[in-house]
């Protein structure tokens, strides 16, 4: 797999949580991966922003259903490329599944293999849509 984004993140955003996986490819080709879950309250989203900045993450793929992604997108977009992608169907919404989902999206983003098209690159393109 050819790495396009050496440092990237994937977020799986829910009503109360944002499961976040970062992937950082080192000079020797090894990959450092870390997954954390943040609440979606403002203070927690600011902590998420700080965590991503501390790892110099500039590219983020975010998947979500409904409108839960909007405040997260708005907070994280400054100085970064945030891509909202279609949520992929999966069997359950259990925490281990969310973790695997985030790892899968982060891996595909790192290699520019996101096989789904970006939904939008800025919330203003969405107008009053619900999803």
Residue 67 DSSP one-character state: T
Q: Kindly list the structural domains of the chain, giving each domain's residue range(s) and its CATH number in brackets, ordered by start.
A: 7-125 (3.30.420.10)
Residue 30 DSSP one-character state: -
The C-alpha atoms of residue 14 and residue 59 are separated, in whole angstroms, by 20
Residue with the two structure tokens 């500039």: 58
Residues 44-102: tens digit of each pLDDT: 999 999 999 999 999 898 888 788 999 999 999 999 989 888 766 544 444 455 555 55
Q: Write down the pTM of the prediction.
A: 0.72
Residues 24-55: tens digit of each pLDDT: 888 888 888 899 999 999 999 999 999 999 99
Residue with the two structure tokens 């997954």: 35
Q: 108 phi and psi, to 5 degrees?
A: -70, -35
Q: Locate 2 and state its tokens.
A: 């050819």
Residue 84, helix vs strand vs coil: strand
- Cα three-residue angle 16-119-102, rounded to 5 degrees: 45
């Amino acid at each position: 797999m050819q790495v396009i984004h050496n440092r990237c993140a994937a977020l799986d955003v829910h009503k109360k949580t944002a499961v976040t996986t970062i992937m950082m490819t080192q000079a020797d080709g090894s990959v450092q991966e870390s997954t954390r879950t943040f609440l979606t309250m403002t203070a927690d989203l600011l902590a998420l922003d700080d965590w991503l900045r501390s790892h110099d993450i500039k590219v983020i793929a975010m998947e979500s259903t409904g409108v839960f992604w909007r405040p997260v997108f708005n907070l994280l977009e400054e100085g970064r490329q945030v891509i909202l992608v279609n949520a992929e169907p999966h069997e359950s919404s259990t925490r281990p599944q969310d973790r695997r989902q985030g790892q899968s999206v982060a891996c595909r983003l790192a290699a520019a293999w996101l096989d789904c098209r970006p939904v939008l690159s800025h919330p203003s393109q969405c107008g009053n849509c619900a999803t």
